[in-house]
Structures are given as C-alpha cells and as structure tokens.
Structure 1
Amino acid sequence: MIGLVLAAGAGRRLRPYTDTLPKALVPVGPEEEGSGRAAKTVLDLTLANFAEVGLTDVAVVVGYRKEAVYERKAELERTYGVSLTLIDNDKAEEWNNAYSLWCARDVLKEGALLANGDTVHPVSVEKTLLAARGQGQRIILALDTVKQLAEEEMKVVTDPEKGLQRITKLMDPADATGEYIGLTLIEGDAAEELADALKTTFERDPDLYYEDGYQELANRGFKVDVAPIGDVSWVEIDNHDDLAKGREIACRY
C-alpha cells in the first residue's frame, strides 16, 4: 500500500499565499529555528503521518504551481524518509478533483491511503483507516460523526448494512450521519471500478468532485464503507479562517 496526496488545486480563496504556491504548500506550522527548513505545510504533515504508519512510497498529484512541489521533492524525501512519485494533472486549473484522482488510477492498483492536500489532521486518522481493514472492505472513508455540520461540509449518509448511501455538500445537515474529512483507504482490487466511476463522473461534468465518483460507485451497488475517526481536531483549509484554525491545530501535532 502507498500514500497518495491530491495537491493539484489552486486554492484561490487563500490568495495571496497561493499566488505562488499550491494550497498543499501553504505554511501551517511555525518555522523551526536553526533547522534551515521552511515552516511545515499540509504536505509536510501528511507525509509525516504516512511515514509514521509505515507508508514510505507516496504519490502526489500535482498541477497548479507544480514547480514548487518539484523543487521541494528531494528535501521532503530526506526529511520524512519517503520516496515520492509526482503525477501531473494537466487540467488542474480547468477541472475539479474527480479528474485529479483519476490521474492516479495506475498507482491506485497498489492500494492507497488517500489524503486531500488541504486537510490538517492527526496520524490517528490514518491509524483508524488501516485498523478498519480486513473484513472485505474495499474502500473505507474517514468519517467525523462528532462535528456539528453546516452547509459547506461534505456530508455523508450511511446504512449499517449497505455502507455509504449519499455523499454531497447539498444536503440538510440534519440528515447526515457525519462528514467525510478527505481521507480514504482504497484497496488495490477496487482501483479499476473506482477509475471507471471517476471517468463517468468527470465526463458527465468536469466540475464534479471525486466524492461524486464515490456516489457513482454506490449507485452501481458497490459497497463503500466508512470508519468513524472519533473526537479529533482537524480542518479542511479552504479560506483564511480555515488557515488560522489549521495553524492552531498543527501546533498540537
């Protein structure tokens, strides 16, 4: 199994930081005095989590300002003891992330622990997903069932027997089981079916999310499982308020 990070997005709501950087490389931690290293980013934190759970082969899908990731590749490999494969998304500034995940369809065949490049979270989430394996699950979504939900969250409805039923932001929060936090465990034998669902999704509308690909799978009868992460602090960084919260959370990890 490998680690996989989606880091191709432009993050326009985080300007001016993202004028020159992809969202995954916006600083969320303090500079380490005397280390000669820049402040930690979401990508740093995610790679550290992957390494802690033994995932040392990592693929990163890059697109917007990808040269910044290429420039840091060797340093990141040294710092976290990982081997990075960078996958170019040629439509990162035109299409949404259903296409971005589809770009990684070949590495998904190895089995992957997927993390969005804008989610600050503790390593306990990776540990929860890995611990949930072994009972025939092929795709497992990390689910926050504790947080009070609002309009912007990626909300999920699950069935105890059938798994994921709905995943969308366009849902009454009161109807949701919880929020998908942007991490998924994908077994290798699910790769082809997921890739096909993603292709169907972005061909229908290139502005759709990869979560819409999960919905396509569920609609086809594929069981998508979830794993509750418990009461943990995490944030998806979309705007400057999220960034401030991410920096506060990152100091704890």
Structure 2
Amino acid sequence: MIGLVLAAGAGSRLRPYTETLPKALVPVAGEGTENELSVLDITLKNFAEIGLEEVGIIVGYRKEVVYERKAALEAKYGLKLTLIENDVAEKWNNAYSLWCGRDAIKHSVILANGDTVHPVSVEKTLLAARGDGKKIILALDTVKDLGEEEMKVVVDPETGVRKITKLMDPAEATGEYIGLTLIEGEAADELADALKATYERDPQLYYEDGYQELVNRGFKVDVAPIGDVKWVEIDNHDDLAKAREIACQY
C-alpha cells in the first residue's frame, strides 16, 4: 500500500499565500520558522507513522515548488515521493486529477485531499476497516453539524454509499466525507473508468462524482466513521485559522 495526495489545486480563496504556493503547501503551523508545517507535511507525517514507504503526489498549480521541496520532504519523513503531473489543474476539477493517479491506485492507496488537516487516527481507522471484500472505504464524519458546503454522504447499512454530493439537504445526510479514502488495488480499473466518464461528461466535476458514478453502476462503496475528531478542510482564510488552532494538537 502507498499514499496518494491530491495537491494540484490553486486555492484562489487563500491568496496571497497561493499566489506563490499550491494550496497543499500553505503553512498551518510554525509559519516562517524551521518548524513550519504545511497541510502536505501533516499528511506525509501521518503516512509515515502508519508504515507507508511510498507516496504519489498529484501536482499541477505551482508544481515547481513541490519539485523544489521534494528531496527535503523525502528526507524529513523517510518516504519515497513520486510526483504525478496534472497539466490542466487550473482549468479542470479534481475528477481528472485523481484519474491522473490511476496507475498509483493499482498498488492500493490511502488517498488524501491536499487541503484536509487531520490526525493520524483517520488513517488508522481506514486501515482497521479493511477486509470483508471492501474495495473503497470513505472516511466519514458522522458527528459534525452539516451545512451547504460539505461533501455530504447518504449511507445504507446494507448496501453502502447511496449518494455523495454537496448538493443535498444536510438533514438527509448520514455524514460528511472528509477527503480521505482507502482504495484497494482491485478497484483501480473500475474507478479509473468511472472517473474518465465523469470528467468527460463535465471537466468541472469532483472525483466524488466519480464515486457516485461507481455507485450508480452497482459498485459498493463503504464508509468508516472517524468518531469525534478535530479536522478541517481548508477552503478559505477562516478555515486556515481553524487549521492552525488544531494542527499543533497532533
């Protein structure tokens, strides 16, 4: 198993940071010091802690900065990093971005969004949920109060995920997908095909729309509730402030 990080996004709502950095490299702790940590740092640290040795990072916007930091990140976390390029990251949404990582998924991966600050307990929860024929397992927050922006999920106890979208009445949802998924290698080809169908239908769709495509085709997507965990998806400066409050607690 390897790690896979979606780090191609521009994060326009985080300017001025993202004028020179990809969203995944915005500092969330120790800004301007030798102990500075980005979202990517925290994710790589988590991956190393659960014993992963290789990580694929899908890069696009300001990819040159990730290339510049690659050797230092490898040395710091004891990981081999492979950068996978998405050349249309500034034009298309992340359904295509995850499709770019389709070969990496064949190794079985823990996928992490490059804007999600979370503790290693989430990765451990996903690993503990493996087995019993599960091929794709989504990390699900069933505790948080939901609003309009969240990626909401409806789950059937027997058949797994039935619906995943932001465009849903929060009262209808079982919980929120937090941006981490365990994907077994045997699901790689089917997922790649669903992602391709998704971005060809509309390049502005999310990879979660690819998950919905799989569900619509009869593929079972499972979930793993993460419990009462402090985490945040960073979309704007308010989110960044929350991330900085919790990142130092990990």
Q: TM bucket by the smaller chain?
A: over 0.9
Residue 56 (structure 1) shift: 1.4
Report SS of the residue matched to 2:28: coil
Alignment of 1:202 with 2:199, yes or no, is yes
- Per-residue Cα deviation, 1:36-80 (whole angstroms, up to 9, x for no partner): x35100000000000000111000000000001000000000000
Say yes or no: does 1:63 pair with 2:60. Answer: yes
1:94 matched to 2:123? The reply is no
1:222-237, aligned counterparts within 5 Å?
A: 222-237=219-234
Please state how far the C-alpha of 1:30 moved relative to its aligned partner: 1.1
Q: Which of residues 185, 188, 191 in structure 2 aligns to 1:191?
A: 188
Partner of 1:30: 30
Determine whether 1:155 maps to 2:152.
Answer: yes
Q: Deviations over 1:165-186 (max 9, x none)?
A: 0000000000000000000000
Residue of structure 2 equivalent to 1:43: 40
1:83 paired residue number: 80
Report the AA paired with residue 8 of structure 2: A
* Partner Cα distance (1:229, 1:56) in 2: 24
User: For 1:118 and 1:32, how far apart are their aligned partners in 2?
Assistant: 20
Q: Which residue of 2 aligns with 1:21?
A: 21
The Cα shift of 1:31 comes to 4.6
Partners of 1:38 and 1:190 in 2: CA distance: 38
Using the alignment, how far apart are the partners of 1:230 and 1:73 within structure 2?
Answer: 33
Partner of 2:138: 141
CA–CA distance in 2 between the matches of 1:115 and 1:139? 13
Match of 1:174 among 141, 161, 171: 171
User: Is residue 124 from structure 1 mapped to residue 87 from structure 2 by the alignment?
Assistant: no
> Of residues 211, 215, 219 in structure 1, which corresponds to 2:216?
219
Q: Which runs of 4 or more aligned residues in structure 1 lie more than 3 Å from their structure 2 counterparts after TM superposition? A: none
Q: What secondary structure, in the 3-state scheme, does the structure 1 residue paired with 2:223 have?
A: strand
- CA distance in structure 1 between the partners assigned to 2:19 and 2:200 by the alignment: 29
Question: RMSD of the TM alignment (CA)?
Answer: 0.9
Which amino acid is the alignment partner of residue 234 of structure 2?
I
After TM superposition, the score normalised by the length of structure 1 is 0.98
Q: Distance in 2 between matches of 1:104 and 1:151?
A: 29
Identity %: 78
1:182 alignment partner, SS class: strand
CA distance in 2, matches of 1:99, 1:52: 29
Provide Cα deviations, 1:208-253, integer angstroms capped at 9, x if missing partner.
0000000000000000000000000000000000000001110101
Aligned residue type for 1:200? A
Compute the displacement of 1:2 (Å). Answer: 0.3
Q: Determine helix, strand or coil for the equivalent of 1:28.
A: strand
Whole-Å Cα distance in 2 between the matches of residues 249 and 171 of structure 1?
28
- For residues 110-150 of structure 1, what are the alpha-carbon distances to aligned partners after superposition, in whole Å with 9 as ceiling and x for unaligned? 00000000000000000000000011100000000000000
